[in-house]
Amino acid sequence: MKVDVYNSKGSKTDKSVTLSKEVFGIEPNDHAIYLDVKRYRAAQRQGTHDTLHRGLVSGSTRKIKKQKGTGTARAGSIKNPLFRGGGTTFGPEPRDYTQKLNHKVKQLARRSALSYKAKEKAIMVLDGVKMDAPKTKDFQGMMSGLKLADSKTLMVLSAPNEAVYMSSRNLAKHRVMVASDVSTYDIMNCNTLIFVADAHEVVEGMLK
C-alpha cells in the first residue's frame, strides 16, 4: 500500500512510502483487538479502592447489650455492619487488575488495528517535524495546515522529541508518542494516524 508523504505545512511532496502488507494489510481480527484493549484499560486502573470492614473500624469490641431479654436481635459489637458507623460488608479491597495476554496476540491486535486504519485511509506520513522549542501555537498551526485541527490524531515519532511532545500536551485532540510505546488502544482511539519520517518502519520492525 502506497501513501503520499506530506510536509509539515500540509503540502504534498513528490515522495511516497510503501507500507508493509504483513502489518498494514492483514485481515483484522476483532477479538484480538478486544482482548488487547481490555488488557490495556484494565492496566490503567490503580486498584487502590478500599473500605473498612468490621475488623478495621475503630470502636470497642465489648458486647453492647445482653444476649437475651431485650426483645431485639442479639448484637455482639458496635462495629457490626448493621449499625450506623459499622463496617462495610463485602466492600472493595486493593487489588491488581493486570491481565495477561500472549505476545503473539498483542502483535496480532496491533497489526489488525493498523490494517483497519489503512483500509479507512486514515494514515498520513510526514517527511519531518522541526521544532526548536515547545510551542503549542506552532503545533496547532501545523495541524490546521494538515486540515486535522478538529480531528482526533495520534502522531508517531521514531525517537523521542521533547519539543514536539510538550507542544501537543495541552491539546485534547492531539497526542504524540514514540513508535515503541504505541498500543492497540492508542491506534483505535484516534481518527488519523500520523507517522513522522521513518516511524512506520520502526512499527513494521516490531510487528513483522
Closest to 115 (Cα-Cα) out of 20, 26, 208, 184: 26
Closest to 184 (Cα-Cα) out of 119, 114, 121: 114
Full set of structural domains in the chain with CATH: 2-32+100-207 (3.40.1370.10), 46-96 (no CATH)
Q: Does the structure show a pLDDT above 90 at 27?
A: yes
Whole-angstrom CA distances from 56 to 75, 77, 83, 96 are 18, 13, 15, 21
Yes or no: say if 25 and 19 are a contact pair by the CB < 8 Å rule: yes
Whole-angstrom CA distances from 121 to 3, 36, 103, 169 are 9, 23, 27, 26
Closest to 153 (Cα-Cα) out of 124, 120, 111: 124
* For range 5-30, the mean pLDDT: 92
Q: Quick one: cell of 38?
A: 481490555
Split at pLDDT 50, 70, 90, the class of 139 is: very high
- Residue 9: predicted pLDDT: 86
- Give the global pTM: 0.85
Percent of the chain with pLDDT over 90: 87
